[in-house]
Amino acid sequence: MKEPQPRAIHLKDYAPPAFRVETVDLDVDIREDHALVRAKLEIRRNAAGPLVLDGDELELVSVALNGKPVPYKVTEDKLTVAEVPDSFTLETVSRIVPQKNTKLEGLYATKHGFVTQCEAEGFRRITWFVDRPDVMARYTTTVRADPKKYPVLLSNGNLIASGEGWAKFEDPFPKPSYLFALVAANLELLREGNLSIYVEPGNLDQAGWAMDCLKRAIAWDEKRFGLKLDLEEYKIVAVGDFNSGAMENKGLNIFNTRYVLARADTATDVDYLNIDRVVAHEYFHNWTGNRVTCRDWFQLSLKEGLTVFRDQEYGADTYSRAVTRIQEVRSLRANQFPEDAGPMKHPVRPQSYQEIRNFYTMTVYEKGAEVVRMQHTLLGEEKFQAGMRLYFERHDGQAVTCDDFVQAMQDASGIDLQQFKRWYDVAGTPVLSCIACTKSSVVTAWPSWRLKYRRIPAWNFSSPSSVCCMRTTSAPFSYTVMV
């Protein structure tokens, strides 16, 4: 029997969702050999057509529309309700088996309990949902588990009620489903004010550095970007079985222990530096990725490229700007340049994909950060910050595109960036020739520089020379670009 061929998804085919979910009331009851998930969704029609929800390895128990049974069709990955009004409440009950979830997406078991990973499409492994980033809803979550085995119960937002074996959380901010998080585990707690770091038993003595990094990142973001911590509680959970490096779920970051735990007698300087940068990166996502998120997965660099740029600037302001920049460029040349020159090259904003997880790449992250850095160089710090403020004023609580970000920069600065947007849509690394031309035979005369593209991507476009040139001395110089 032939395996089904993966279907390509194209950016040009994007359409807004037919239905929007306003609120989600989720009840997750973790039992000995399975979990029972009750979901109550307040849904509003956005376009004509049936209601189609995504699912993956869910055993559907019941479906009700406005409190009454309703006809439906269910397949392995879709739940379809053909006849629905323009505004309604849909309730589903599903059974999942996180104890046997080897995909490590959705809700799955770890050594000391259960955690979630929902980016990019893991939420559909928890309950039936319109599982796409442009559907943003407010969540209320109740977590239930054996209090003796799993005394720590967590989810996004603020704790509003609790009892033995259960806890209820309310997240005041709308978020896409990929930012949903849930934890039920046996963990130890390091707490300072409204900041909490949860670690597995026996590791509490190694969490202090991560707490220092978090406090430093919060202070830096408020000082440099004017972005304050917007939550009553900010929680980090570190477990050794977490499949990703770290995940920026709103208010409940989940980390692999390698990016949280450090002790002077066992960790290297590089370990300490990596923890600092990753903790900062995930915190910075609180605004660039969570408060404003990507409309679709083609816009992944909107949140990742921008947040990498922000954590690079944090590193430069915290340590040595020159050394930090050299390290970043060395990594770019060693890892992203070969990717951009090989068979797997792709634009910062891909035009199609078959599996979105294949695009969590150096190009989307690090080259995406360089595209943001070029805008910062063009505009300067003052106008770039004005563009950031306008970006949040326009799009707070929305799911938007890379073009929306550039447009905010253009409108705030008065600099035409329409042609610049094309940087997001082309693969490859431009290469320049640089020739020094002195206007005098006097040795001390400052040279001018003539730059010429030796290799350029598929189409010609002007690139601001100040973005492409690196001054190696304090000497003034002039230049022209030959395209």
Residue 437: band (very low, low, confident or very high) from pLDDT cuts 50, 70, 90: low
Confidence at 474, pLDDT banded by 50, 70, 90: very low
- Joined together, the tokens standing for residue 88 give 């309604």
State the catalytic residue, choosing from 105, 282, 328, 370: 282
Q: Is 203 helix (H, G, I), strand (E, B) or coil?
A: coil
Angle of CA points 231, 315, 376, to nearest 5°: 90
The structure tokens 């973001």 sit at 221
Confidence at residue 455, expressed as pLDDT on a 0 to 100 scale: 58
Where does residue 289 fall: left (phi above 0), alpha (psi -120 to 50 degrees), or beta otherwise?
Answer: left
Phi, psi for residue 420 in degrees, rounded to 5: -60, -30
pLDDT for position 434: 72
Tokens 């490590």 — which residue?
104
Assign 388 to helix, strand or coil.
Answer: helix
Average pLDDT of the chain is 92
The model's pLDDT over 338-389, given as tens digits with 9 standing for 90+, comes to 999 999 999 999 999 999 999 999 999 999 999 999 999 999 999 999 999 9
Q: Higher model confidence: residue 196 or residue 441?
A: 196
- Average pLDDT rounded to a whole number, residues 278-298: 98
**pTM (2 d.p.):** 0.92
User: What percent of the chain stands above pLDDT 70?
Assistant: 89
SS3 459: coil
Q: 146 vs 35, 114, 202, CA distance in Å?
A: 12, 12, 21
31 Cβ contact list (under 8 Å, min separation 6) = none
For 355, the token pair is 């599996």
CB of 178 within 8 A of CB of 123?
yes
Each residue's pLDDT tens digit, 406-417: 999 999 999 999
Tens digits of per-residue pLDDT, 135-170?
Answer: 999 999 999 999 999 999 999 999 999 999 999 999
> pLDDT tens for residues 166-187?
999 999 999 999 999 999 999 9
91 classed as catalytic: no
DSSP assignment of 84-126, as one string? --SEEEEEEEEEE-GGG-TT--EEEEETTEEEEE-TTTTGGGT
Structure token pair of residue 195: 């900041």
- Give me 237's structure tokens: 């959970």
The helix or strand, by DSSP H or E, that contains position 301, with its residue range, turns out to be helix 300-318
Confidence check: pLDDT of 450 > 70: no
**Does 466 score more than 80 pLDDT?**
no
pLDDT tops 70 at residue 293: yes
Mutual orientation of helices 269-284 and 208-225 as an angle, nearest 10°?
Answer: 50
Instruction: State whether residue 156 is helix, strand or coil.
Output: coil
Q: Is the pLDDT of residue 128 over 90?
A: yes
Residue 425 is given by DSSP the state G
Could you tell me if 482 and 453 are in contact, meaning their C-beta atoms sit under 8 angstroms apart? yes
| Residue 29 DSSP SS3 | strand
pLDDT in tens, 106-118: 999 999 999 999 9
Q: How far apart are CA 275 and CA 209, in angstroms?
A: 8
Confidence (pLDDT) at 6 = 79
pLDDT for 471 beyond 70: no
